[in-house]
């Protein structure tokens, strides 16, 4: 607990057999009350490794539901476990678990309801090995998103995020895609609901075992991001109405 708030870390896992143990080992269990691993029908030994680690809250999807679908199960489970602060951490060890205390404190203290660990603040992305084409794409997409959504985030594409219970109970994340664009849709929902988002500088690591998407899926993701941002703008201007932004 932190200031009376129960903290739960959720790990959406897919083919993370080589990195999940190291990730879990660095979760600060003196602060975190529970953690949840959701295995999205991995084709490697992720589930076996998690079982060997005696993960208490281990959920297995019988079929692959996608990155967004995995997160839906993660957040549903965290709410069922009465989490007050829910932090999503990828089990591929691309993001350091050592930021969990800082992110949790920002929410527990009432400063912000959402915190994103940004790879772009400072020089963490390129220093950590982010491919230049991904960095450039990230910057261009973020520029367009800030323009359409009228915000000033350094990036919308980090997978390291912390939410208050109120946020998860307010936004209709089940209306979102089961694919990678889920992350952007959820941020758009959070802004539409009037919540503020804080950012914290995050070092990152790119290496062979870290999850990544290929060029085709990257293009699909980019188009989905632009569609989400234009949809947000049109909905905000009352030009169209999107069910994505309806409350639960």
Closest listed residue to residue 210, CA positions, set 119, 137, 123: 119
Residue entry with tokens 């491919």 = 131
Which is the CATH superfamily of the domain at 7-245?
Spore Coat Polysaccharide Biosynthesis Protein SpsA; Chain A (3.90.550.10)
* Structure token digits, residue 239: 């030009």
Answer yes or no: are the C-beta atoms of 32 and 9 closer than 8 Å: yes
pTM metric for this prediction? 0.94
pLDDT digits (tens, 9 = 90+) for 31-69: 999 999 999 999 999 999 999 999 999 999 999 999 999
Tokens at 30, concatenated? 């003196």
The partner residues of 38 in beta bridges, in order of sequence, read 12, 59
Q: Whole-angstrom Cα distance, residue 196 to residue 108?
A: 14
Report domain extents, the chain: 7-245
Q: Which residues of the chain have pLDDT under 70?
A: 124, 207-213
pLDDT at 128: 75
To which residue do tokens 């829910």 refer?
86
Res 186: pLDDT: 98
């Amino acid at each position: 607990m932190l200031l009376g708030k129960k903290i739960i870390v959720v790990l959406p896992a897919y083919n993370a057999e080589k990195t999940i143990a190291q990730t879990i080992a660095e979760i600060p269990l003196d602060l975190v009350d529970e953690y949840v691993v959701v295995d999205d029908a991995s084709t490697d030994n992720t589930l076996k490794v998690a079982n060997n680690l005696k993960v208490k809250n281990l959920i297995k999807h019988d079929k692959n539901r996608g990155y967004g679908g995995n997160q839906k199960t993660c957040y549903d489970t965290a709410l069922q476990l009465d989490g007050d602060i829910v932090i999503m951490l990828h089990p591929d060890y691309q993001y350091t678990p050592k930021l969990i205390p800082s992110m949790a404190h920002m929410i527990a203290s009432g400063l912000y309801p959402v915190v994103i660990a940004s790879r772009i603040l400072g020089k963490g992305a390129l220093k950590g090995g982010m491919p230049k084409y991904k960095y450039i794409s990230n910057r261009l997409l973020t520029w367009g998103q800030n323009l359409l959504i009228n915000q000033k985030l350094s990036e919308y594409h980090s997978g390291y995020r912390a939410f208050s219970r109120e946020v998860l109970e307010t936004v209709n994340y089940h209306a979102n895609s089961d694919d990678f664009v889920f992350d952007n849709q959820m941020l758009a929902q959070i802004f539409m609901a009037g919540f503020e988002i804080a950012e914290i500088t995050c070092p990152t690591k790119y290496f062979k075992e870290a999850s990544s998407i290929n060029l085709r899926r990257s293009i699909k993701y980019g188009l989905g991001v632009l569609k989400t941002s234009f949809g947000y703008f049109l909905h905000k201007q009352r030009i169209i109405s999107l069910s994505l932004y309806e409350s639960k």
